[in-house]
Structure 1
Amino acid sequence: MFQWLQTFMAVFEVKNFTKAAEKLFISQPTVSLHIQKLEELTGSDLFFRNGRNHAIPTESAKLLYLRAKQLNSLWETSLNDIKQLQGNTRITYHIGASQTIGVYLLPQVLPPLQKAFPNHDFVVHIANSTIIFNKVETRDYQVGLVESPMIAPLIERAVFSYDSLVLAGNQDSELWLLRESGSGIRAYTEQFFQQENIIPEQKMEIASNEAILNMLQQGFGKTLLSNLSIRDTVIFPTPEPIKRALFQIHHSEFPQDEVQIAMYELLLDTFR
């Protein structure tokens, strides 16, 4: 059954039976058979077929995918734990961080974290808060660091620090520079627009804090950004102070591991 689930996850991710077969180096009929067996086992259709082996996931498939990812993560963790008992393995550990935290805060705690866990190979993923929530939920990332106040049923979060948001750039400009939807700063910016009854006459969406800062330094546009990211940028206060929490998140159905606990303590000691 585990092989069936591996096949199912591949089809779910690429939305195509033939591409899933190529990804797994098995035949397309084998992919179809594995999906058929799972559908018989669950008593539910998992994909709507839409010509040329295109597969559209059903609601049952979305739930099964989440559980299958969790099961796969638990299996990999168990293998790592067993190997670690034998003292002959290195552990790959994935950390997701939203841009402000990932660029300005996380680098300060990574050196002591690596020193505390020398047998871990840490992989840091910089993405927006929505992506990190999703990846922690599916256990692609063991832990996440986010700036968004969003919540999710399977996610537990804990505040480790706060930052403040300021207006930056040319305040006479009609152009607002915005982060992409799904980012923590975008959610706060839209909330700020509503509170101040602002309807941007011009706006540009850029999925990078650094790119936005570079444009501001050229005197181009204005934006709302974290005080942590201020460089040689003209800033001015918001009508009302905007303070936001910074969170560490993990999957609620998995116990916190020693890395998560140690990293949270490092974050508290460094930034509270």
Structure 2
Amino acid sequence: MFHWLQTFMTVYEEKNFTHAAEKRFISQPTVSLHIQKLEEITGSELFIRSGRNHAVPTESADLLYVRAKQLDSLWETSLSDIQQLQGNTRITYTIGASQTIGVYMLPLVLPQLQKQFPNYDFVVSIANSTVIFNRVETHEYQVGLVESPMIAPMITRTVFAHDSLVLAGDMTNDLWLLRETGSGIRTYTDQFFQQENIIPAQKMEIASNEAILTMLRQGVGKTLLSDLSVRDFPYEHPPTPIVRPLFQIHNHAFPQDPLQIALHELLIASFS
């Protein structure tokens, strides 16, 4: 059944039976058979087939995908635990961090974390808060650090610090530089626009804090950003102060591990 689930996850991600077969190095009839077996077991249609082997996931498929990814992650964790018992103690541990935390905060505590867990190989992924929530929910990331106040059914959040948002750049410029939808700062920017009755005359959406900062240094545009990232350009505080909590998140279906506890303690000690 595990092979069936792996095939299912590939079809779900590719949205195409042919592409899934190529990626799994199996025949297309085998892909169809694996999906058929899962549909028989679940008693539910998982994909709506359309032309040229295109597969549209159903609501049942959405639920099964999350559970299958969790199972896959648990399998990888089990293999790692077994390797530890056999004396192979290197462990890969993935941390997802949204951009402000990942650039300005996490690097200051990673050296201390590495000292506490010398047998761990850390993989740090920088993404927006929505992506991190999704990947922590499927346990692709063991732990996440986010700036968004969003919630999710499988996620436990704990606050480790706060930051303040400031208005940076040329306030006389009509151009607003915005992060993409799904980022923590975009959520607060949209709320700020509503609160202050602002309708941007011009706007540019950029999925990178560093790119936005580079434009500000050139005197182009204005934006709302964390005071942690303010360096060499003018800024001012918004009419109503905006202080946001920063969260550490994990999937509560998996026990909180010692590294998550240690990371939270280091973040609190460094930034609270």
The answer to whether the superposition gives a TM-score over 0.5 is yes
Distance 2:34 2:146 in 1: 37
Partner of 1:96 in structure 2?
A: 96
1:171 deviates by 0.7
Q: Deviations over 1:4-61 (max 9, x none)?
A: 1011001001011111111111111111111111111111111001111111101011
1:125 deviates by 0.5
1:219 deviates by 1.0
Distance 1:124 1:135 in 2: 13
1:178 deviates by 0.5
CA RMSD of aligned residues (A): 0.8
Partner of 1:86 in structure 2?
A: 86
Partner of 2:163 in structure 1?
A: 163
Question: Taking structure 2 as the reference length, what is the TM-score of the superposition?
Answer: 0.98
User: Mean alpha-carbon deviation: is it higher for 100-109 or for 110-119?
Assistant: 110-119
Partner letter of residue 116 of structure 1?
Q
Partner of 2:137 in structure 1?
A: 137
Partner of 2:114 in structure 1?
A: 114
Task: Return 5+ residue gaps in structure 2 as ranges.
Answer: none
Find the residue that maps to 1:219 and give its secondary structure.
coil
Distance 1:209 1:8 in 2: 36
1:86 deviates by 2.0
Partner of 1:77 in structure 2?
A: 77
1:173-188 alignment, distance < 5 Å? 173-188=173-188
1:156-235 alignment, distance < 5 Å? 156-235=156-235
Partner of 1:127 in structure 2?
A: 127
Distance 1:95 1:111 in 2: 14
1:153 deviates by 0.8
1:266 deviates by 0.8
User: Mean alpha-carbon deviation: is it higher for 97-106 or for 66-75?
Assistant: 66-75
Distance 1:72 1:182 in 2: 26
Q: Does 1:68 align with 2:41?
A: no
| Fraction of identical pairs, as percent | 76
Task: Return 5+ residue gaps in structure 1 as ranges.
Answer: none
1:235 deviates by 0.5
Partner letter of residue 100 of structure 2?
T
- Structure 1 residue ranges (4+ consecutive) displaced by more than 3 angstroms after TM superposition: none
Partner of 1:255 in structure 2?
A: 255
Q: Deviations over 1:177-206 (max 9, x none)?
A: 100000000000000001111111010111
Partner letter of residue 167 of structure 1?
L
Find the residue that maps to 2:51 and give its secondary structure.
coil
Distance 2:157 2:246 in 1: 10
